[in-house]
Each structure stands twice: as structure tokens, then as C-alpha cells.
Amino acid sequence: MIEVDAKAERQSARGPKPRADLHAAQAIRAGLLGRCPACGRGALFEGFLTRRARCEACGFDLGAVDTGDGAATFIMQIAGFLVGFSALAVEIAWRPPLWLHLVVWLPLVALLAVALMRPGKGLMTALQILRLRQDPTARPDGSSKAR
């Protein structure tokens, strides 16, 4: 569990302050669990994949963090790799009929993609927030200020 110290619990007019001392591993874990990567306390999602505009715990502007289609791209590659090579191994070992491949592997790839999508989007959000923290010239839309 993410530790909460007294300094992070101080109230401001908007609520608790974002935790600048939250380490990368804690932010990534919070993102994977669907918590706000900025503070580790508030919920990251309102729906299944709809990210909240602001964290209710720390007031961090989650809407400004743009992950694009990065999570979907990585999840499709991971699910395709796992299911594709598993299907290939089963075909080489046992040579089942084509209909059996379709019945087993198509639902499995769909289930795997849906199951990994929310943690993947949380991870991408956490990584984007960490990148914004490390590079003060970076903007939430991914561009940088001229130096």
C-alpha cells in the first residue's frame, strides 16, 4: 500500500496537495491499480476506460495528461504475441482442426485485450505523469517548450 505522510495530508483550498515525493515505482503501482499516479489515493477512472478530469483526492489535472492510443497499441501487441505463439505451439504439437483454433483463440485474445486495457492505460498515465515531473519544459500534450 502507498504510505501517506503528514506532509501530503495537509489541506489546501482544493484539497490534499499532490505528492511530489511519490517515487516512480509507487506511481506506476498506483496507475496499474487504477489510482491517481500523482498522489496514489484518488480514483483514476470514472468508467471502464474513461479517465477522470481531476483527481478527487489531490486535484491533479488528469485530463491534461494525454496518453493517446499507446495503451491500446501495446496491449494488442502483447495479446497478439501471447495468443499467436500459443496457437502456433498447439498447432505444432497436436494439429487440432481449424474450428477448434477459432473457438479457443479468438475469445481468448479478446478477453486478454479487455482485461489488460485498464491497467495498461493506468500505466501509460503514470509514465506520462512521471515524464512531466522529470522534464519541467515538457507540456501535458507531449510537446516541449523551446530552449
For residue 11, the cross-strand partners are 16
Confidence band (pLDDT; 50, 70, 90) for 141? Answer: low
- Residue 27 is predicted with a pLDDT of 93
Kindly report, residue by residue over 7-60, the tens digit of the pLDDT: 444 443 334 445 666 789 999 999 999 999 999 999 999 999 999 999 999 999
Instruction: Report the share of the chain in percent with pLDDT over 70.
Output: 78
Tell me the C-alpha distance between 117 and 74, whole Å.
9
Tell me the C-alpha distance between 44 and 125, whole Å.
9
Cβ contacts of 96 within 8 Å, gap of 6 or more: 90
pTM of the predicted model as reported, rounded to 2 decimal places: 0.78
Q: What is the DSSP letter of 17?
A: P
Tell me the C-alpha distance between 128 and 142, whole Å.
9
Ramachandran quadrant class, 69 (left: phi over 0; alpha: psi -120 to 50; beta: rest): alpha
